[in-house]
Structure formats: C-alpha cells, structure tokens
Amino acid sequence: MKPVRVLFVCLGNICRSPLAEGVLCALAEQKGLASALQVDSAGTGAWHIGEPPDGRSIQAARRHGIDISAQRGRQLRAEDFRDFDLILGMDENNVRTLKGLAPEGAAGKVHLFLNYASGRSEDVPDPYYEGADAFEALYQMLEAGCSSLLVRLGERTS
Ligand code: 4NP
C-alpha cells in the first residue's frame, strides 16, 4: 500500500503547519499508522526559510511530549502539487493562495484542514501575534483535527 502523502501549509511555516506535522506524525506513530503516511509542511511565504519553528510552537509540542525542534521552514514549491496527495491549508487565506498556485488538475488536492478532517469549515487562526496561551489552544485544535484526519485517512489506507 502506497503511503498517503500529506502536506500542511500555513503562511510562515513556523507556527501552525510545523506543529500540525509534529502532531500528526506522533498520533500516527501511536496508532501504528506511521508507515501509511508521509507528512511534511510548508509556508506560502518566504520569510522563515531555513528557520526552526517558533519557540512557542516548539514549547507547546514539548509540553505534550513531541519534539518539532529539528524541523526547518521551507516555502511551498511547484513540485509539491505533484508530490503530495493532500495539501491542507490552515486557513481560508492559505487555501486561496494554494488554489491560485495549483496547476491544472491539482486544485482537488487542496482543502481547508479542519474541513477535510472533520467537516467543520473553520480556520486554524494565525497565532503569530498572539501570546503563549494561543499556542496551547492551537495545539488542542491541531490535536483534535489530526485525530479526525487519521480516522479519515485510516479509512483510506486500510
Ligand atoms: P504561521 O504563522 O503561518 O502559522 O507559521 C506566521 C508566522 C510568521 C508570519 C506570519 C504568520 N510572519 O508574518 O512572519
């Protein structure tokens, strides 16, 4: 069975999408689904290429036993639309940008993360200008979303 390749996308690739990547990998590992998935993340913007995730995301992950500190920011690439099966934007702005960049035939891979995961058409809001509390809320939102996503992907990979 070929793994499902999932790309999480936000604006900077330092707050939301690296944490989503870490959470989904950790949950997949716990559920014995790690080999069924390939997970990565990227930003639509170029400001944080090569940087580790935001310290507040690293800390939020660490509080829950997940280490995302080795991740490095990267910008979305044209090949991502070929190399991934699912491209999940954290908010509607990300989804709009992704759909604008998607080549013919690839727009169907692009979804709003929480809508795809759990049918709730809700953004994962940008926490960059928020305080540390927002990152615990972000973690909780991503954990719930990634759990639902795994149920949906489990149906696809079993
Ligand atoms: P992210 O958060 O999209 O969740 O990584 C942001 C990080 C950086 C910026 C904006 C959002 N920025 O403007 O640099």
The ligand 1 atom at the shortest distance from the C-alpha of residue 10 is: 3
* pLDDT for res 154: 82
- Tens of pLDDT, residues 2-40: 999 999 999 999 999 999 999 999 999 999 999 999 999
- Mean pLDDT of the chain, nearest integer: 96
Please work out whether the CB of residue 13 comes within 6 Å of at least one atom of ligand 1: yes
CATH, residue 77: 3.40.50.2300
Query: Residue 10 has what pLDDT?
Result: 98
Does 158 score more than 60 pLDDT? no
The CA distances from residue 55 to 39, 61, 131, 135, in Å, are 21, 10, 12, 10
For residue range 104-126, list pLDDT tens digits in order: 999 999 999 999 999 999 999 99
Q: Which of 7, 8, 9, 10 to mutate to test the pocket of ligand 1 (most atoms within 8 A of CB)?
A: 10
CA-to-CA separations, 108 to 4, 17, 63, 90, 101, in angstroms, rounded: 15, 20, 35, 16, 12
Q: What is the pLDDT of residue 1?
A: 76
Number of domains in the chain: 1
- Kindly give the number of the ligand 1 atom that is closest to the alpha carbon of 73: 5
Please state, for a pLDDT cut of 70, what percent of the chain lies above it: 98
For 19, the domain range is 4-157
* Residue 63 scores a pLDDT above 90: yes
**What is the pLDDT averaged over residues 135-155?**
95
The average pLDDT across 66-74 equals: 98
* Residue-level pLDDT at 117: 98
pTM of the complete model: 0.97
